[in-house]
Amino acid sequence: MYGQIPDSHKKDIDAAVNAAKKAFPAWSNTPVEERFKILNRIAELIDEHLEALALAETNDNGKPLWLSKRVDIPRASANFRFFATGIMHFATESHNMEGRAVNYTLRQPIGIVGCISPWNLPLYLFTWKIAPALAAGNCVIAKPSEVTPVTAFLLSKICMEAGLPAGVLNIVHGTGPGAGEAIVTHPDIKAISFTGSTRAGERIASLAAPKFKKLSLELGGKNPAIIFADCDWDKMLTETIRSSFSNQGEICLCGSRILVEESVYEKFKNAFVDRTKALTVGDPLEATSKQGAIVSKVHYEKILRCIDTAKTEGGVILCGGNAIHPSGRCKDGYFIEPTVIEGLGPQCQTNQEEIFGPVVTLQSFKTEDEALQLANASSYGLAATIWTQDISKANRVAAKVESGIIWINCWLLRDLRTPFGGMKNSGVGREGGWEALRFFTEAKNICVEL
C-alpha cells in the first residue's frame, strides 16, 4: 500500500466551511500587496521543494519524473507567482455619463469558493484554481483527486510555512460522490471551479444550478490535429508525437484525432508509426522513459476496453494496442503501448468518446472544408492544432474550428494571461488571466449622480 487519505464527507466540509467563515473577513480585507507577498512566497517554496514535489507527483501519478520536474511543478509555482502579481494590477472600471453621473465597478471577493481538480496534472491544475481564488480575497475549500492526493497535502505544509492564515485554504480529501458533492451542494460555498470529465461536470451542474452558484467547468476533449501538406514537416511530426502521447495521453489537450491531408497521408502514417514505435515505455523514474504508467487500474482497464472497441468497430491497429509488463520494480504496473489506429469514421465511438490515454486515430481529408467537417464532428470543443505554412489558411481554419483553444504550428504553448476553456461538451466558462480573477469576484456597479 502506498498510503492512506481521509474519506471526507459532509461533516468535514462543514468544519472546513466554518474555518473559512472565520478567516474570510480578515483575508478579504488584507491589502493586495500583503496577499502578493504570501502567494509569491508559496511560489518560492514550491521552487525550493521541486525535487521532492516532483518525486511525489511521479510516484502518485505514474508520469515520468523528468516531466514532473520540467512541467508540472514549475507550472504550479508559476500559477501562484502569476496571480500574486496579477492581483496587484487587477483594475476596476469607470463609465462617465457626460454631465450626469459616473459609474464605477467594484470587484469584490465572492466569499467561500470550491475548487475541485483532477488526477492527470495534480499540483499543476490544483494551483491553477486555488491561486486566483486566494489572490482575489476568497477563502477556498479545495479537493484534489483521491487518486493523486499527495502533492496537495505537501502544498498545505508549504502554505503554512509561507504564512497563509489558518482557514483561508482548506484542503479536504475524499471521493467525488462524498467530499466533492458535499462541496458542490453546501449553501455557503458560492462558486465552484471544476476540472474533470464531462460526466462529472454534468452531475456538478445539475446540483449547483438550482442553487444559483457560479460555475466554471473545464471538461473533456477529443481534440483534432489538422495537418496540411504544406506544413513544416519535421516540426509537425515531433510536436504531433508529443501532443499525442505526453503524460501517457492523459491530458485534456492531447490531439487524439489526427486529420491528415490525403496527398501526404501515407507519408505521415509511416513516419508517425515509426516514431511511435521508438517511444520508450517504462519505469517513470528512468530518464529514458518517454511514457510512464497509467494512473490507476480502473483507468488502465478502461483504455484497454476502448482499444477493443476500436477493433470491434473495424479499426486497424497500426502499432501498439497492448498492455506492457516491464521487468524490475514496475513489473506489476499499469503500462500500455502508445497506440495508433486507422480505418475509422468520424461518428464511431472511438472518434467520439474521450479515451484519455495513449491512443490516437488517423483520418484523411481532401479539402479544407472536409478537414473542418471532420474537426467539428466531435461533441467536444476544447482544443485543436493546425499545421500549415499558409498563414491565411491557418487563420481561416482557426476561425471555423469549434474549439476554445487553437494552436497554429505549435502545441501546449501557454501564456497564463490568455483565456482557457472549451465549447460544447468541453465545458462552460473560462480560466486564466483576468478571466479567472473575474470569475472569483462579484461585480458591483455604483452610480454617482453629479
- Phi, then psi, of 45 in degrees rounded to 5: -70, -35
Query: Mean per-residue pLDDT for 413-427?
Result: 96
Tens of pLDDT, residues 221-261: 999 999 999 999 999 999 999 999 999 999 999 999 999 99
Catalytic residue, candidates 115, 252, 254, 306? 252
Catalytic residue, candidates 218, 337, 354, 431? 218
Cell numbers at 111, concatenated: 466569499
Burial of 197 (0-12, 13-18, 19+ CB in 10 A): middle
Closest CA to 147 of 185, 121, 124: 121
Confidence of residue 80 (pLDDT cuts 50, 70, 90): very high
Query: Among all chains, which residue has been given the C-alpha cell 483534432?
Result: 224
Name the pairing type of β-strands 335-336 and 323-324: antiparallel
CATH numbers and ranges of domains, the chain: 10-219+426-449 (3.40.605.10), 223-408 (3.40.309.10)
Instruction: Tell me the C-alpha to C-alpha distance, in Å, between residue 170 and each of 119, 164, 184, 286, 311.
Output: 19, 11, 15, 35, 46
Cα(292)–Cα(72) distance, rounded to whole angstroms? 15
E-assigned strand segments in 206-262:
214-218, 223-227, 255-261
Tens of pLDDT, residues 316-335: 999 999 999 988 899 999 99
Q: Is the pLDDT of residue 167 over 90?
A: yes
Query: Among all chains, which residue has been given the C-alpha cell 530518464?
Result: 287
Q: Is the pLDDT of residue 132 over 70?
A: yes
Name the pairing type of β-strands 94-97 and 316-319: unpaired
Q: What average pLDDT does the chain have?
A: 97
Give the Cβ contact number of residue 424 at 10 Å.
16
Cα(42)–Cα(214) distance, rounded to whole angstroms? 27
pTM: 0.96
Closest CA to 108 of 217, 184, 34, 191: 191
3-state SS of the chain: helix, strand, coil percent to 5? Answer: 45, 20, 35
Residue 218 among the catalytic residues: yes
Question: What one-letter code names the amino acid at 218?
Answer: E
Query: Mean per-residue pLDDT for 120-125?
Result: 98
Residue 252 among the catalytic residues: yes
Q: Is the pLDDT of residue 446 over 80?
A: yes
Tens of pLDDT, residues 12-31: 999 999 999 999 999 999 99
Q: What is the pLDDT of residue 3?
A: 81
Q: What is the pLDDT of residue 327?
A: 86
Name the pairing type of β-strands 169-171 and 339-342: unpaired
Tens of pLDDT, residues 87-103: 999 998 999 999 999 99
Confidence of residue 139 (pLDDT cuts 50, 70, 90): very high
Q: What angle do CA 123, 181, 296 make, to 5 degrees?
A: 45
Q: Is the pLDDT of residue 147 over 70?
A: yes
Cα(321)–Cα(308) distance, rounded to whole angstroms? 9
Report DSSP letters for 291-332, one per residue: B---S-HHHHHHHHHHHHHHHHTT-EEEE--SEE--SGGGTT
Confidence of residue 1 (pLDDT cuts 50, 70, 90): low
Cβ-based neighbours of 175, under 8 Å, separated by 6 or more = 7, 146
Query: Mean per-residue pLDDT for 405-410?
Result: 98
Instruction: Tell me the C-alpha to C-alpha distance, in Å, between residue 415 and each of 306, 428, 433.
Output: 33, 20, 9
Cell numbers at 17, concatenated: 466551511
